[in-house]
């Protein structure tokens, strides 16, 4: 069992940066892979990035690779998503999720946070 709470969303201009946080709870936090997903109005939920239990990272090669960086600090039970060079199409609700192994598919994750809104203006 793990509980997740996202924070750090807000309004930012295109080209700017924003860092999201996924705060976890529970002694088993370090055993979970964490994924970030996003969903914009009228679009399906999209994989953004993930980090494994061992700290290996991956990102969506078609949309955010080389712009977004995922990291984790197990001492703080927190996973971060550093978003750089933001584009208007990055506007979405961003959610973090925990699973036993990383995946690009949302239904492979067991636990989800409530989401945080990111709005990128032109």
Sign of the CA dihedral running 86, 5, 48, 92: negative
Q: Cβ neighbours of residue 68 under 8 Å, at least 6 residues apart?
A: 48, 49, 59, 81, 82, 83, 84
Instruction: Give the span between the Cα atoms of 112 and 103, in whole angstroms.
Output: 14
Q: Judge whether 108 and 52 are in contact, CB under 8 Å.
A: no
pLDDT score, position 109:
96
pLDDT (tens digit per residue) in 58-102: 998 888 889 999 999 999 999 999 999 999 999 999 999 999 988
Pick from 20-24, 99-103, 112-116: least confident: 99-103
112-101-3 Cα angle (round to 5): 25
User: What span, in angstroms and rounded, lies between the C-alpha atoms of 103 and 69?
Assistant: 16
In this prediction, residue 121 carries a pLDDT of 98
HSE-up (13 A, CA, CB side) for residue 6: 24
pLDDT digits (tens, 9 = 90+) for 28-69: 899 999 999 999 999 999 999 999 999 999 998 888 889 999
């Amino acid at each position: 069992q793990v509980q997740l709470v996202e924070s750090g969303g807000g309004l930012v201009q295109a080209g700017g940066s924003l860092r999201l946080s996924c705060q976890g709870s529970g002694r088993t936090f370090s055993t979970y892979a964490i994924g970030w997903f996003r969903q914009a109005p009228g679009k399906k939920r999209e994989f953004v990035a993930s980090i494994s239990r061992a700290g290996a990272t991956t990102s969506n090669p078609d949309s955010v690779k080389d712009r977004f960086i995922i990291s984790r600090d197990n001492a703080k039970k927190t996973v971060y998503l550093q978003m750089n060079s933001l584009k208007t199409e990055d506007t979405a609700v961003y959610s973090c999720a925990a699973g036993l192994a990383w995946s690009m598919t949302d239904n492979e994750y067991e636990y989800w946070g409530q989401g945080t809104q990111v709005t990128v203006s032109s």
